[in-house]
Chains A and B, each alone.
Chain A
Amino acid sequence: MNNSFALRRRNDLIMAAVLTAAAACMPFLVKDVYVQNIMVLTLMYAALSQSWNILSGYCGQISLGHALYFGLGAYTTALLFTKFGVVPWVGMIAGGLISAMIALALGYPTFRLGGHYFVIATIVIAEIGLLLFHNWDWAGAALGIDIPVRGDSWLKFQFTRSKLPYFYFALAFCVVAWLITWWLEDSKWGYWWRAVKDNPEAAQSLGVVVFNSKMGAAAVSAFLTAIGGAFYAMFVSYIDPDSVMSFQFSLLMALPAVLGGIGTLWGPVLGAAILIPLTEVTRSFIGGSGRGVDLILYGALIVAISLARPEGLVGLFSRRKKETAR
């Protein structure tokens, strides 16, 4: 009786392995630096959206302030590296831990809020973070931080000759985020989160400690998001408050999951694979003139998906078949 379930879980793993192998070969097929750049961003947003999905998709606490954690990861890494010469790997973990702790501290008061009050609180908190970084002179204020090149090594996480190492790190990040989600999905936490999302009162009556569930989801989600921020800082080697902590990032982390399927294992990956290349390409080919075609496409896509397929595009692949079979 458990076979179909175990089978599905295994198939997910096999699928992931195949996709990872295919992605790993991509740089050998595509040498164009511009395209490689898009691939790095796609992988990064897939991972970020996967992280967002843990708190907002599975646990149902819609955060539109994840830019805060992204920015904290980026700033922690950049500051430790430029001011104290700490290697980015340490900065990455430090940024993750700081973000997780801040997420817990913020979760304490905010998780009592319902629906829209919560969403707005997340926006407002990230916005306060942004304004504070704008005015924090030691951290470069509005000018930001230029990360100087100190070598070409994995230790310093700086690569001047080829972008490929960044690609493989982004791929690893994406795979790890996916695996964590895969593992959590069939764990006590995964079930608790979905229960909290669907009906907190019923969850409580079944022994689910709702508050702790939300806190757990927030910590994991913030930690992973900050790793993404740390990576991004090293990847672009220049950060300022607007380029890592603005509201736009919060939205960019949510949208792949929205497009692919909120609260699903494959949604963020699928969504990012469609959305990021689409935006990057339209931005450079049509939107370069600033005429907003990229925004039009983007917005129309989100509206269309929300209305036509609220469960996301992954539904096209799996649920559809089941429903027609019924």
Chain B
Amino acid sequence: MTTQTIVQSLASGLLMGLLYGLIAVGLALIFGLMDVTNFAHGEFLMLAMYVTFFLFAFFAIDPLLAMPLVAAALFAFGAVIYLLVVRFAMRAKTNVGMVQIFATFGLAILLRGLAQFFFTPDYRSIPTSWLGGKTVSVFGVFLPVPQLVGALVAVAAFGALYFFIKKTDFGRALEATREDAGAVALVGIDKNRVFALGWGLGSALVGLAGAIMASFFYIYPDVGASFALIAYVTVALGGFGSVFGAFAGGIIVGLVEASTALILPPSLKSVGIYAVYLLVVFIRPRGLFGSI
């Protein structure tokens, strides 16, 4: 193992990690807003990838250009899911907390089934895109262009999100609602509207991630499942609800995954991530940046 290979894998790990962060941040946002974990998050990613694929297949829209469209589609989808499903799951009086988990799990299974039914279980890919298959060399380190662009988009998205939460009215309403939903109602902010927009925003972010992923990853109905667990680990690692935590968590997960792959056989590369997750929560039960 040379320094070259180590630097090379850490660099790709970092890029992948930023993408993981982007995949996960929507989850963190929603959790922070309303203490709900969307266990269908992976399927949201899957849908975003299919939307990207079909935009390409039918209208020849490059994934890069499709990004805003996919984000918009997912925004609408997320808001609708909140209004149709999650809103009702939160009203349960028995098994509080469990109902939400299983409602979104059921949703995940349903979405996967629908994808199989309508899109078939076949593996799809976007063969030619502006970015696909290209690499650039930075100081002798080869970086795949799609991942590089994905990482840049992730950084930009995090920056925009930060600005959005801190500086805009809606962002402040979001912050206020997560602090105290009851009091917010008194001030006249419609809780359901804020929650629906929160779900929309969170889903739009995973939409961005999906559009990028579609350009270098196979697209199939179960694709979400493999990334969902990573997303949960990312969010939990950073501390549920912390947007910054998801960003940092993503980077850690990417780097840990890459370093594990250097040491252990490739089939075990996820073990490193899982082990780090357990290690972190055993020491800090609310994640690295979670409030205690």
Q: Which of B137-152 contact A (CB under 8 A)?
A: none
Give Cα A258 to B37, complex, Å.
Answer: 17
Q: Are B281 and A121 in contact (CB under 8 A)?
A: yes
Is A301's CB under 8 angstroms from B278's CB?
A: no
| Chain A interface residue count, Cβ-Cβ cutoff 8 angstroms | 49
Taking the closest CB of chain B, its distance from the CB of A255, in whole angstroms, is 8
Q: Are A125 and B278 in contact (CB under 8 A)?
A: yes
Q: Which residues of B contact A301 (CB under 8 A)?
A: 106
Nearest A residue to B94 via CB reads A311
Q: Given contacts A131-B270, A291-B117, are A116 and B109 in contact (CB under 8 A)? A: no
- Chain B, range 103-146, C-beta contacts under 8 Å to A: 103, 105-117, 120-121
Stretch in A2-10, A75-83, A106-114, A178-186 with 4+ CB within 8 Å of B: A106-114
- Please tell me which stretch of B4-12, B48-56, B159-167, B228-236 contacts chain A, meaning at least 4 of its Cβ atoms lie within 8 angstroms of it: B228-236
Q: A116-B240, A299-B108, A300-B110 are in contact. Are A131 and B232 (CB under 8 A)?
A: no
Quick one: given A117-B286, A119-B101, A302-B102, are A124 and B278 in contact (CB under 8 Å)? yes
- Chain B contributes a number of interface residues (CB within 8 A of A) equal to 52
In the assembled complex, how far is the CB of residue B79 from the closest CB belonging to chain A, in whole angstroms? 17
When chains A and B are docked, how far (Å) is the Cα of A254 from the Cα of B278?
Answer: 23
A interface secondary structure, majority: helix
For residues 170 through 220 of chain B, which have their beta carbon under 8 Å from a beta carbon of chain A?
Answer: none
A124 to chain B, nearest CB (A): 4
Determine if A123 is an interface residue (Cβ-Cβ < 8 Å): yes
A303 to B111, CA, bound (A): 11
Question: Of the candidates B93, B109, B277, B285, which one forms a contact with A302 in the assembled complex, judged by CB atoms under 8 Å apart?
Answer: B109
Whether A296 contacts B117 in the complex (CB less than 8 A), given A120-B236, A131-B271, comes out as yes
Look across to chain B and name the residue whose beta carbon is closest to the beta carbon of A119: B101
CB pair B89 A306 closer than 8 Å? yes
A290 within 8 A of B: yes
Q: Judge whether B98 is part of the interface by a CB distance below 8 angstroms.
A: yes
Q: How far is the CB of B125 from chain A (nearest CB, A)?
A: 19
Q: How many A-B residue pairs have CB under 8 A?
A: 141
B92 touches A310 (CB 8 A): yes
Contacting residues, chain A, for B282 (C-beta < 8 A): 109, 112
For B286, list chain A residues within 8 Å (CB): 114, 117
One of A109, A114, A290, A299 near B112 (C-beta < 8 A): A299
8 Å CB contact of B98 from A112, A132, A262, A290: A262
Within 8 A of B (CB), among A40-56: 56
B270-A303 in contact (CB<8A): no
Is residue B65 within 8 Å, beta carbon to beta carbon, of the partner chain? no
CA–CA, A298 to B111, complex, Å? Answer: 11
Contact check, B113 vs A135: say whether CB atoms are below 8 A apart. Answer: no
- A292 pairs with B281, CB closer than 8 A: no
Q: Which residues of B contact A304 (CB under 8 A)?
A: 106
Q: Which chain B positions have C-beta within 8 A of A112?
A: 282, 285
Question: Is A128 an interface position by the 8 A CB rule?
Answer: yes
B interface: dominant SS = helix
For residue B158, CB closer than 8 A to chain A, the reply is no
Interface residues of B in 60-85 (CB under 8 A from A): 85
Contact A311 B113 (CB under 8 A): no
How many Å lie between the Cα of A290 and that of B113 in the bound state?
A: 9
Tell me how far the C-beta of B117 lies from the nearest C-beta in chain A, rounded to whole angstroms.
5
Q: CB distance A262 to B95 under 8 Å?
A: yes
Q: Does B26 contact A (CB under 8 A)?
A: no
Q: Which residue of A lies closest to B290 (CB)?
A: A117
Cβ of B267 < 8 Å from any Cβ of A? yes
Residue of B nearest to A304 (CB): B106
Within 8 A of A (CB), among B235-287: 236, 240, 265, 267-268, 270-271, 274-275, 277-278, 281-282, 285-287
Residue pair B281, A128 in contact (C-beta under 8 Å): no
Of the residues B99, B116, B240, B277, contact of A306 by C-beta under 8 Å: B99
B275 touches A306 (CB 8 A): no
Q: Is residue B224 contacting chain A, with contact meaning CB distance below 8 A?
A: no
**Please, how many angstroms separate the alpha-carbon atoms of A109 and B283 in the complex?**
9
Residues of B within 8 A of A297 (CB): 113
Other-chain residue from B99, B121, B240 in contact with A117 (beta carbon distance below 8 A): B240
B272 to A: closest C-beta gap in Å: 10
Q: In the complex where A127-B270, A131-B268 touch, is A292 in contact with B275 (Cβ < 8 A)?
A: no
Q: Residue B229 contacts which of A127, A293, A306 (CB distance < 8 angstroms)?
A: A127
Please pick, from B31, B110, B277, the residue contacting A295 in the complex, using a CB distance under 8 A: B110
A134 interface hit (Cβ, 8 Å): yes
CA distance A307 to B37 in the complex (A): 16
Q: Known contacts A116-B37, A135-B265: does B274 contact A298 (CB below 8 Å)?
A: no
Contacts of A134 in B (CB 8 A): 267
Complex contacts, A62 vs chain B, CB 8 Å: 98, 101
With A62-B101, A121-B281, A258-B98 given, can you name 9 additional A-B contacts, CB distance below 8 Å? A114-B286, A121-B277, A128-B271, A255-B102, A295-B116, A300-B110, A301-B106, A302-B106, A307-B88
| Chain A residues engaging chain B, CB cutoff 8 angstroms | 56, 60, 62, 109, 112-117, 119-121, 123-125, 127-128, 131-132, 134-135, 247, 251, 254-255, 258, 262-263, 290-307, 310-311
4 tightest A-B CB contacts, nearest first: A292-B116, A295-B113, A299-B110, A302-B106
A-B contact pairs, 23 of them (CB 8 A): A62-B98, A62-B101, A109-B278, A113-B281, A120-B232, A123-B232, A131-B267, A131-B268, A135-B265, A135-B267, A247-B225, A262-B94, A292-B116, A293-B113, A299-B106, A302-B102, A302-B105, A302-B106, A302-B109, A304-B106, A306-B99, A306-B102, A311-B94
